[in-house]
Structure 1
């Protein structure tokens, strides 16, 4: 099987490339700039302009679409219009399966980025290529970065009752690889980490692992968004789940246990 991976240079993309290589899959990966790799065929392609997409999808059996632009003001151009360009090109090339990575909660949480991800899902579903969508919960690295940025002024600032379900990117990569083998779902699958944590629980473990005494300064997120986040908009009950916990991530990152 020859698989095209977009967004291959990101955190998930790196894990996906390693997983597919271990599985013996022939991989072609896209980048906006030329790269050289003895194990991966890198091609230059741009979702915003469409340059290189026809060449990128030529001769591949499946596409893993991981590319996204959550920051920088190009989300709509990359995630929605870029996905449409990719789907059209893949359909014209006769690609047999397109797997799109999305986020648990895009249909429940009123964040602009999530609305664009949901629109991209709809583009994939309406396109000519047999498809699957995998919605994953947030990576522990994202939560770690969030806690670091929210504590820049001293205390860790956040809504103590917001719920999160960190999932290891390596486990998401394995799930994507399994979806490739299983073939087009024609639907949406959700995949989350092993634990649902309140924000204050995550902070407590994070502080312990880092040996920090920074207090939690609770600030309730107002309005509809706060209700969605506290009500479980970012978590899923879907099975199976990942096995690596928040504490595992903290132990690997900081050397502390992150356990109580």
Structure 2
């Protein structure tokens, strides 16, 4: 049976991808800096940022799903001034370049790279780093696919939780359709094995909602009493910050339903 390698397999999206691969009967290997608890998959310990362990991870692999990334904003759940000036590239650029180079030396027949919707118009350094990594994939001699996804619900949850201490929340009025990692994982796994290559359909959430509405639903799910202050943003500025709407495939799980699952029984926690 062909072997599939997942980089970033211990992250939110990566874990969902691994679950679906195992469910569908695939042999799975995860490349990670530390092993997880699953015993039904193979683990190779290493680091995409340095290349340690990567050659071993690629041995006998047929398909690579590259879900690895390093976003300081996602790690901490909020933006700091430094994020407007720089973002580390060791994983998303140098690591991707190293991965692609080794794939050409091995038996890998397909690299599926997970990226982000709207990178061309985004101005944050992390988005520029992601775009640089994506362009390396598109130029690769190894057969490739690129799947772009909207930002994930858990990231929006983390960002909004950073506002929870404020009595009033300044929130842009722009439309947005974030998506759950479970829906993205289904989409990615389907495209990894359907025989298609190149730029694949992007994926976003099922609803186009104002960020004001998204924040209001979050506030209500948490049982908080906060005033929301709508802020108008120009289209260019909204795109620069990554606030776009995907016109591709739509996920199934709504933000409201995701919030209900996460915060049911926790109302009034702030």
State the TM-score, normalized to the length of structure 2: 0.87
Task: Give the unaligned 5+ runs of structure 1.
Answer: none
Alignment pair present for 1:45 and 2:46: yes
Instruction: Supply the distance in 1 between the matched residues of 2:235 and 2:254 (Cα, whole angstroms).
Output: 30
Instruction: Supply the distance in 1 between the matched residues of 2:196 and 2:136 (Cα, whole angstroms).
Output: 16
Instruction: Supply the distance in 2 between the matched residues of 1:237 and 1:121 (Cα, whole angstroms).
Output: 19
Alignment pair present for 1:14 and 2:26: no
Instruction: Give CA-to-partner distance per residue, 1:169-188, whole Å, 9 cap, x none.
Output: 11111111101111342224
Instruction: Supply the distance in 2 between the matched residues of 1:59 and 1:174 (Cα, whole angstroms).
Output: 24
Query: CA RMSD, aligned part only?
Result: 2.2
Aligned to 2:182: 170
Aligned residues: 253
Aligned to 1:242: 251
Counting only pairs closer than 5 Å after superposition, residues 1-260 of structure 1 correspond to structure 2 as: 1-35=2-36, 37-71=38-72, 75-159=88-172, 161-220=173-232, 224-226=236-238, 228=240, 233-238=243-248, 240-255=249-264
Contact map agreement 1:109 1:234 (CA 8 A) in 2: no
Over 3 Å counting, the alpha-carbon distance change for 1:74 and 1:112 in structure 2 is: closer
Contact map agreement 1:166 1:193 (CA 8 A) in 2: yes
- Greater mean alpha carbon deviation, residues 42-51 or residues 217-226: 217-226
Contact map agreement 1:109 1:228 (CA 8 A) in 2: yes
Task: Give the unaligned 5+ runs of structure 2.
Answer: 76-85
**1:216 Cα deviation from its structure 2 partner:** 0.9
**1:74 Cα deviation from its structure 2 partner:** 6.3
State the TM-score, normalized to the length of structure 1: 0.90
Instruction: Give CA-to-partner distance per residue, 1:29-66, whole Å, 9 cap, x none.
Output: 01123455311101012112211111111101100001
**1:218 Cα deviation from its structure 2 partner:** 3.5
Instruction: Supply the distance in 1 between the matched residues of 2:239 and 2:193 (Cα, whole angstroms).
Output: 38
Over 3 Å counting, the alpha-carbon distance change for 1:169 and 1:150 in structure 2 is: same
Q: What SS class does the counterpart of residue 81 from structure 1 fall into?
A: helix
Instruction: Supply the distance in 1 between the matched residues of 2:148 and 2:187 (Cα, whole angstroms).
Output: 11
Contact map agreement 2:122 2:239 (CA 8 A) in 1: no
Instruction: Give CA-to-partner distance per residue, 1:58-105, whole Å, 9 cap, x none.
Output: 101100001101118763111001000000111110300000001111
Instruction: Give CA-to-partner distance per residue, 1:132-165, whole Å, 9 cap, x none.
Output: 0110111111111111112333322322x12221
Over 3 Å counting, the alpha-carbon distance change for 1:227 and 1:135 in structure 2 is: closer
